[in-house]
A and B are shown apart, each in its own frame.
Chain A
Amino acid sequence: MENILTYMTFIPLAGAVLVLALPNNNHNLIRWVSALATVPPLLLACWLFANFDSSKPGLQFVEKYQWIPAYNISYHMGVDGLSISMVLLTALLCFLCIFASWGIEKAVKGYFALFLLLDAGMMGVFCALDFFLFYIFWEVMLLPMYFLIGIWGGPRREYAAIKFFLYTLFGSVLILLAILALYFSSEPYTFDMTVLIAQADKYGTKTLPIWPFDQWGWGFQHVIWMALFIGFAIKIPAFPFHTWLPDAHVEAPTAISVILAGVLLKMGTYGILRINYPMLPVATADLAYWFLGVLGAWNIIYGALCAMAQKDLKKLVAYSSVSHMGYVMLGMASFTTQGINGAVLQMFNHGTITGMLFLLVGVIYDRAHHRDIEGFGGLAAIMPLYTGVTALAFFASMGLPGLSGFISEVLVLLGTWQKYPVLTILGASGVVLTAGYMLWTIQRVYLGPANEKYLKLPEINGREMFTLVPLGAIVIVVGIYPSVVLDLLRASLDQINQIVLPHLHS
């Protein structure tokens, strides 16, 4: 299986081209071809998962070809445990979201072609090991996302789409400047992340010509760290860069919300772990407490409080994402094995759980055509199966033991407790708040007397169950036997952690 990562990335792209060549009005053909184009990446991702040697740290399945030798740009792909968990999540969610998009009737061809292009871009981001390539994939995702929200979204789709676009582009150009600055600091000039990581000690002590923060011991590395961090924080989204998220989520069609929450948000934390941590360890050690730890704890509480105040079911889920991504940041900042493994496990779990939540919101929205939490009531009596699945997702989201969310949150809090007890207490109080708004929502939407208006709502159908069951299964399996994922991550994350640890002054 040579070039497996290339296949995973470019088969969806080929699928997009193929979809464009299909006749305009044969919608079912377009849908099935798109679904088929997402199957090989999923199978290949499973194969990767099975064949990855998780006992070894470092990159595997590496592919490297010269691309533009004059500037030392190469086509360099490779994965470690961290990437594989994300690739697996991407492949699975993309496959399922094709089925969740079955109901799209407007410009079907364009939708699926853009969706597959998005798929290719996301795969590329998680596999790329060359900065130039990484940046291209990173930006390639923006365009389809803009159109997918902007054309197929809700009433305020134009506003949401351009807001998402502008925020992300602002972050991207900062990343671009950081990439260029690192490029010119390397010897010889290179975009290769592995080489840049190997030279990490070179960026530490360099002072800057005009810089007021010398007395804090901040230098070149810290500035680059901040530029990258802001770029990634917008994607996470960390407070105060999160305001695009509720808008984008509320307006996006269901499947796109799933992708946004399930995959795109992870790119922020993935980028920090893949790039900031090993490449700029000194700055990471200096800044992680404030910008990941404190901000993470704040994200947890702020997101939960915002979620509690929402009247729109989808917005509630969107703010719960802000809250849950806070655990990832908090765990990352702890630099303990539990914390960092818990953080990445939380990335994976959040992808599956929130994916489920958005799909479930989509199911009810398709039937009732609104998402007002107050406007339902007693759905449990009308749609029992649907309510059951929803309860599973809600409980997983609030971290009920036995389900996957519990494991990752506990690991994060365990890891953080050893370093920052205060932040841990704040983070743990988020669990209570989460339980609060989740249970309150269940009570308002599903329990109580059945709403007369919705007595005729049809039960969840086979296609919708098909998209939910695999995610539900993963939530239960990981909840009972988390080692499936944790074994994959441990060696790779330890390696990243070991680079930063010596620079930590505790």
Chain B
Amino acid sequence: MDLKNLESLSYFWPELILFGTILLISMLDLLMRNGRALAGLAMLGCAASLIATFDLYSAQPGWLFYRMLVLDNFALFFKVFALAALILTIWMSLGSKEIDQVHQGEYYTLLLTCGLGVILMASSSNLLTAYLSLELVSLTSYVLTGFLPHSRRSSEAALKYLIYGGVASGTMIYGMSWIFGMTGSLDYAAIQTALAQNQVSKVALFMAFVFILAGFGYKIVFVPFHMWSPDVYQGAPTPFTAFLSVASNAAGIAIMIRFFFPGVSTMAAGGAWTAVAGVEWPHVLLFVSMITMTVGNLCALNQRNLKRMLAYSGIAHAGYMLMGVAVLSNDGLQAILFYVIVYLIMNLGAFLVVVMIANATGNEDIESYRGLAWRGAVVPAVCLAVFLFSLTGLPPFAGFIGKFFLFAAVLKAGGVFVILAIVAVANSVVSLYYYAKVVKVMFLDFPDPSDKAVAVDRGNVTLLLPLTALTLFFGVYFYPLTYYASQSLRFFIK
């Protein structure tokens, strides 16, 4: 279906509800100063939006708003993902002392707007909406990164983020203008037809793709567009860092898959995709993937701040996920979608522990985790160990299954990709070193007399335990997730 503006609205309920919540919060914020109530409202709004999203699964897939947005299972997947991430982040924000100091009405308004941007990124089917929604995510992120008052680090991070973001999106829109110039259209479907018919200059197309990759790469955080991430991770308020670490990455992956797969490639029967002949972007991604995971892991080895370490680990994980794109197959895409969910669970879990410990000790240095298990915080310590081992990719945790499917997709593709698989497993071993270092500090080191006992907040534990349980559960029985991921690989435009 191809709907006009007013007809589209009835398929736009999740976004509308979220948008309504955003407006309501910003207005209520003027009337009452109760941060918890606003957070509750934000959470309710997200939940309502989530219900509306599930309702849309029965709808026909199609174009909305004159082909600006697209409604298909792939878009719905990222809607569910973004809303779940929002709900978890709001919960995490409720239990964070950092967030208590800031102006909460604006914080939740901006957070939800950022989430809305993520949702729109995944459903855009036009370069224009792609760019606008990406900027929506970026702009709100800049503000939220610099949200901590009187924190130089936070302000510095926001400025760095802004400058990198500006350059990257400028490069991207330049690439988009090349595409527009060559095909005469901004609409993915029209671009695809134009590429299939016209004799476009391969070199120009390749260059345009590389420029566009700069914008996507800055969201997904792959090398060489990763420089902002460690500073931003460290400087931003931790709950927002958590959101950014999963949502920015996922949104970038979504928009990239949307553009590079249904946008400019064609799918043959059996789930194999063919790129435009002569334009070897998958091989670019192959190298980018290898370099990204290696750089991320090597830089993470010597970090002293846990948030910064997780930033580098996030870069490494972006590299792993890129493997799934580079192999150009539905297996790879399915593995990515699976990984995105698992990464959401384990990374948010790890950041939740960071929040809990920062509440008690006031800092995020790995040193402050010394002997955590022996300082009355066994539960957070064990949970963090589970998340870190899951990030390493050890069974029986979900992270193993995620990596397993990525490796499987890569090995199935065979040929030169075998090298990618070997680099990736070698990287897994390297990553164990720094993840285990944190575990070592928590369990194997004993607390100094100067280390105080760590009080554990109940509200946070109620979120922590389900996340841990899910990490274990999906490590042992992952079929529901793989099924959901495979069903989500239905694009309206092929």
Contacts and interface: CB of A to CB of B under 8 A. Distances in A.
Interface of A: 67-68, 70-71, 107, 135-136, 139-140, 142-143, 146-147, 150-151, 157-158, 161-162, 165-166, 169-170, 173-174, 176-177, 180-181, 183-184, 209-210
Interface residues of B, number: 33
A140 B396 contact: yes
B429 A158 contact: no
B394 A143 contact: yes
A142 B444 contact: no
B394 A139 contact: yes
B394 A181 contact: no
Interface string B436-478: 1100100111000000000000000000000000000000011
Interface in B363-404: 374, 389, 394-396, 400, 404
A459 to B, nearest CB: 34
A162 B395 contact: no
B102 to A, nearest CB: 38
B277 to A, nearest CB: 21
Contact of A169 (B412, B428, B443, B444): B428
B275 to A, nearest CB: 20
B295 to A, nearest CB: 20
Contacts of B477: 67-68
A169 B411 contact: no
A174 B396 CA distance: 18
B425 A173 contact: yes
A107 B440 CA distance: 16
Contact of B395 (A67, A140, A158): A140
B180 interface: no
A158 B412 contact: no
A124 to B, nearest CB: 11
Interface of B: 374, 389, 394-396, 400, 404, 407-408, 411-412, 414-416, 421-422, 425-426, 428-429, 432-433, 436-437, 440, 443-445, 477-479, 482-483
23 contacts: A68-B477, A68-B478, A68-B479, A135-B395, A140-B395, A140-B396, A143-B394, A151-B444, A158-B445, A161-B440, A169-B429, A170-B429, A173-B425, A173-B426, A177-B407, A177-B411, A177-B425, A180-B411, A180-B421, A184-B408, A184-B411, A209-B414, A210-B416
B425 A70 contact: no
B444 A158 contact: yes
Given A143-B394, A162-B440, A169-B429, 8 more contacts: A135-B395, A140-B395, A158-B444, A161-B440, A173-B426, A184-B408, A184-B412, A184-B414
A183 B400 contact: no
Nearest to A181: B411
Contact of A166 (B374, B404, B429): B429
A157 B446 CA distance: 13
A101 to B, nearest CB: 18
Contacts of A209: 414-416
Contacts of B415: 209
Contacts of A157: 444
A181 to B, nearest CB: 6
Given A70-B479, A136-B396, A140-B395, A150 B428 contact: no
A157 B443 CA distance: 12
Contacts of B445: 158
Contacts of B436: 146, 162, 165
A176 B425 contact: yes
A68 B415 CA distance: 28
A143 B389 contact: yes
B400 A177 contact: no
Given A177-B421, A177-B425, A136 B395 contact: yes
A180 B408 CA distance: 6
A434 to B, nearest CB: 34
Among A71, A151, A176: residue with most chain B CB under 10 A:
A176
Contacts of B407: 176-177, 180
A203 B258 CA distance: 38
A150 B440 contact: yes
Contacts of A161: 440, 444
Given A70-B479, A151-B444, A162-B436, A173 B411 contact: no
B356 to A, nearest CB: 20
A338 to B, nearest CB: 38
Among B408, B445, B482: residue with most chain A CB under 10 A:
B408
B394 A147 contact: no
Contacts of A169: 394, 428-429, 432
A448 to B, nearest CB: 40
A165 B431 CA distance: 12
B336 to A, nearest CB: 17
Contacts of B412: 184
Among A139, A158, A169, A181: residue with most chain B CB under 10 A:
A169
A107 to B, nearest CB: 8
A173 B429 contact: yes
A176 B444 CA distance: 28
A170 B483 CA distance: 31
A71 to B, nearest CB: 8
Given A142-B394, A151-B444, A180-B408, A70 B389 contact: no
Contacts of B428: 169, 173
A108 to B, nearest CB: 13
Given A158-B444, A165-B436, A139 B395 contact: yes
Contacts of A177: 407, 411, 421-422, 425
B330 to A, nearest CB: 14
B395 to A, nearest CB: 4
Contacts of B437: 162
Contacts of A139: 394-396, 400
B432 A176 contact: no
Nearest to B419: A210
A362 B444 CA distance: 22
A135 B425 CA distance: 15
A34 B426 CA distance: 37
B143 to A, nearest CB: 41
A67 B479 CA distance: 9
Among A142, A162, A173: residue with most chain B CB under 10 A:
A173
Contacts of B482: 68, 70-71
Among B395, B400, B422, B483: residue with most chain A CB under 10 A:
B395
Contacts of B389: 143
Given A150-B440, A177-B425, A181-B411, A165 B479 contact: no
Nearest to B476: A136
A356 to B, nearest CB: 29
A183 B408 contact: yes
A143 B472 CA distance: 14
B283 to A, nearest CB: 15
A107 B443 CA distance: 11
B460 to A, nearest CB: 21
Closest 5 CB pairs of A and B: A173-B425, A136-B395, A150-B444, A139-B395, A180-B411
A176 B404 CA distance: 8
A184 B422 CA distance: 16
B444 A166 contact: no
A430 B483 CA distance: 57
Nearest to A135: B395
A24 to B, nearest CB: 10
Contact of B440 (A136, A158, A183): A158
A151 B443 contact: yes
A136 B478 CA distance: 14
A222 B445 CA distance: 43
B443 A147 contact: yes
A169 B479 CA distance: 25
B305 to A, nearest CB: 21
A1 to B, nearest CB: 25
A183 B374 CA distance: 44
B184 to A, nearest CB: 41
Contact of A165 (B414, B432, B478): B432
Contacts of A180: 404, 407-408, 411, 421
Nearest to B386: A143
